């Protein structure tokens, strides 16, 4: 079975998150898209696909089996599984920080990179500034998680993964309004 391209994965992810909004009220699909953009310098289609899919299993009706049926290979599925917080299964009883440490210690660099980029996006100044007051306390937890993951990432990746705000190209924004 052919693995979906990055563009096909973008379209699937956008459809999977259709109608969802983040804590700031923005279309949810923008978050995984920005996570993927942060990892473009890493130049790994596996990491880019996993970045786009990282919340699909956790936050939509799609499961790992569905992703496998769509043609995503086991290395992408493994990353998605590692970075998907399974509160009722594998991660039940773990604190958030313990889960982050488990990701760090997983030995899967691509999973660590995806979670790191995810946290950077959640912690970006523009995103934090739009959170409702009840969610602003997440910043300290996110910063601690970023600091926990950083030592597991080779310096050449730290140097190229954007840590601040990441804008979404107008062309992709236009596509979502037309679709």
**Residue 1 belongs to some domain of the structure:** no
103 contacts 116 by C-beta, under 8 angstroms? no
**Residue 32 belongs to some domain of the structure:** yes
Burial of 162 (0-12, 13-18, 19+ CB in 10 A): middle
Rounded to two decimals, the pTM is 0.90
Residue 60 has pLDDT above 90, yes or no: yes
pLDDT digits (tens, 9 = 90+) for 18-51: 999 998 889 999 999 999 999 999 988 999 999 9
| Residue 172: per-residue pLDDT | 54
**Residue 138 belongs to some domain of the structure:** yes
Helices in the chain by DSSP H: which ranges? 6-16, 30-39, 45-53, 56-59, 64-69, 74-83, 96-104, 109-122, 125-130, 138-149, 155-158, 170-178
**Residue 76 belongs to some domain of the structure:** yes
Q: Provide the domain count of the chain.
A: 1
**Residue 63 belongs to some domain of the structure:** yes
Residue 179 has pLDDT above 50, yes or no: no
| Residue 37: per-residue pLDDT | 95
Q: Which domain holds residue 35?
A: 6-178
Residue 156 has pLDDT above 50, yes or no: yes
Report the CATH number that the domain containing residue 65 is assigned in CATH: 1.10.3210.10
């Amino acid at each position: 079975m052919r693995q979906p391209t990055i563009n096909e994965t973008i379209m699937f992810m956008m459809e999977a998150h259709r109608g969802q909004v983040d804590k700031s009220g923005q279309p949810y699909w923008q978050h995984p898209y920005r996570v993927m953009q942060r990892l473009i310098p890493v130049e790994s289609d596996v990491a880019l696909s996993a970045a786009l899919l990282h919340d699909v299993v956790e936050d939509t009706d799609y499961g790992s089996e569905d992703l496998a049926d769509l043609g995503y290979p086991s290395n992408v599925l493994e990353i998605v599984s590692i970075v998907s917080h399974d509160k009722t299964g594998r991660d039940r009883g773990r604190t958030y920080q313990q889960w982050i440490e488990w990701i760090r210690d997983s030995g899967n660099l691509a999973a660590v990179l995806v979670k790191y980029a995810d946290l950077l996006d959640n912690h970006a100044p523009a995103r934090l500034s739009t959170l409702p007051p009840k969610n602003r306390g997440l910043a300290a937890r996110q910063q601690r998680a970023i600091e926990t993951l950083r030592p597991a990432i080779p310096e050449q990746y730290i140097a190229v993964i954007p840590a601040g705000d990441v804008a979404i190209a107008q062309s992709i924004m236009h596509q979502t309004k037309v679709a």
